[in-house]
Structure 1
Amino acid sequence: MPKALSPLDLAVPRNKTALMLQLQFLVCRTGYRMWCGGVICRTKLAAFITKMAARYPITRSTRQRTYDRKRGIAVVHFMAYAVGDKVHWWLLSDAGKGGLADKSSEDARVARDAMSADGHIIFGDYVLVYATKREWREVQCPKTKKPRGFHKQTSTWTWKLRTEVMRELKHGIELCCEHLEYGSEGGNGKKAWGLRGLLATMRSRPLFSGVRSQVLELHRDARDLWKPRRPLWCERYPAHVEKYKQNAGALTPIGVVMANELPKIPRMKVYAQPPETLRGIIADVAPEVLTVVGDKNVSH
């Protein structure tokens, strides 16, 4: 028989966007809606992941999970990602026996449904929700045989900025406009600041469909609030008017932002080759902690 995988050798996503894509995929495509999670210190991760592996079949291979699913046994995934000296973790389960949906499970009382309003998965500034969005579709007209386009309302899982984060960003835009802080997008060694810097930072976020819509909303808010203040800014900085003429104090047009600066997230590999592991993120800060669990494998 092949050697059982140690829980410390579970792979870690290559970056934050890859992590968010994988969480979205698990909830959306394969139905792992029941979950629990939290944040733990790296120094406590070794003991914690060993405890989770003793409770749930998180080290099973794809073939073994298929076998478990046919027998009605829960298929469970453990996801983790290090931010500084903390590790964000999620345990996701389908509806099988022994999983988080099973009332006899040790963690059933703290399990949440990702579909429920109070059970959404959260990571930093973002929340994973089942949302409605407009998609552009094209079909061939049966009479003219020419393509005809239209918008269609569809529902899908996507990441969005949390309500509190959007509120803070809108307030930041209001302050920048109030104080005539036109600012700069940065680059070439210069720091981004002011209204333009804030908007440029928003465009650098992981542009899931939900986030992209919110970033456009923030740009529209900025456009509407800045428009009456732009003449005041031009009066205060005549040298910029002399240098940039009609473009002085102008924000990037919404159409240009939509066309050129909000690319959709491309397909990407979730894990690097070879992938980083839980063992690696522990060893980065406290290699001596690995002696807590030794190098024993956990099998199910």
Structure 2
Amino acid sequence: MLAARNIKIPKNQTAAMQLLQLYMQSGHYYWISGVVARTKLHRLVAKLNAFRITRDAPGRAYDKAKGLASTHLVVFEQGDDELLWFLVGTAGKGGLIDPEQADIGTIYDSRLAGQHLRFKHYELLHAEKRIKQVRDTTWTWRIAPQRVKEHEAFIVQLIRQRDMDGLNTELTALAAMPQFSGVRGQVLKLFAETKKLGLKFKQGEVAVPTLPYMTRMSIYTEPAKTLSALCEVAL
């Protein structure tokens, strides 16, 4: 069994999002998240230990065979003293939706509308995809709908004001987002709308950045950073 201090920390935001996506794909649909100060991380970990967050791969395989839930803790460094954390889990005894477990707050089911896992301005959802005319589903990140509307309004404002420097900065920021398939589709749509608006408001053909394709990346640094590096009190 792993000690809590050895739980690995994703190396950046995109890596953390990829890890959460992988957990969803493996059935860890239930989730809760929050923000904690570094000085209080040890208290949070002590509370979450009830969900067996330190189980290693053999232990989780055994638990699954016995009908026990699997639960993972993901921590992301959001600021100098602020940590964003997610607890994701499967159904089963001892898990997030077990009524006999400790009450740690509202538990969401990421498969349901209005309960998708949120990471800042992004949300993770189960979406349909087509591969050679065959329908399938996959977990992907997208920009939250309200945030897309905000970007749309901002682009319209910049074009109306003929602020091309501001527009280029906005388009560059959109291109720099983690290009998961859902996000990429939304950004391409925003780019297409930008080009139409440029012509409509006599700005000519607006040049937009070329979007990279998302590829599987390493989630951790080498060697991996662990919870012990974030916690000011020994775990």
- Does the TM-score normalized on the shorter chain lie above 0.5? yes
Q: Distance in 2 between matches of 1:218 and 1:86?
A: 32
* Runs of 4 or more consecutive aligned structure 1 residues displaced over 4 Å after TM superposition: none
Name the residue aligned to 1:219: 191
Measure how far apart 1:95 and its partner are: 1.3
Name the residue aligned to 1:126: 122
Q: Secondary structure at the match of 2:164?
A: coil
Q: Which has the larger radius of gyration?
A: 1
Measure how far apart 1:10 and its partner are: 0.9
Q: Is the 8 A contact 1:161 1:211 kept in 2?
A: yes
Name the residue aligned to 2:73: 78
Deviations 1:135-184 (A, max 9, x none): 5x3xxxxxxxxxxxxx555432110001221111111101111101122x
Deviations 1:89-134 (A, max 9, x none): 1111111211012221223862111101122110111000112345
Name the residue aligned to 1:252: 207
Name the residue aligned to 1:240: none
Equivalent AA in structure 2 for residue 279 of structure 1: S
Q: Distance in 2 between matches of 1:42 and 1:56?
A: 21
Closer/same/farther in 2, CA of residues 116 and 279 from structure 1, 3 Å limit: same
- How many residue pairs match? The answer is 234
Name the residue aligned to 1:147: none
Tell me, yes or no, if structure 1 residue 59 matches structure 2 residue 54: yes
Name the residue aligned to 1:159: 141
Equivalent AA in structure 1 for residue 206 of structure 2: L
Name the residue aligned to 1:200: 172
Q: Is the 8 A contact 1:8 1:49 kept in 2?
A: no
Tell me, yes or no, if structure 1 residue 179 matches structure 2 residue 154: no
The Cα RMSD (Å) is: 1.9
Closer/same/farther in 2, CA of residues 39 and 279 from structure 1, 3 Å limit: same
Q: Distance in 2 between matches of 1:122 and 1:19?
A: 12
Name the residue aligned to 1:262: 211
Q: Is the 8 A contact 2:195 2:205 kept in 1?
A: no
Name the residue aligned to 2:2: 5
In structure 1, the gaps of 5 or more residues are 138-150, 184-193, 232-248, 283-288, 296-300
Equivalent AA in structure 2 for residue 227 of structure 1: L
TM-score by length of 1: 0.73
In structure 2, the gaps of 5 or more residues are none
TM-score by length of 2: 0.92
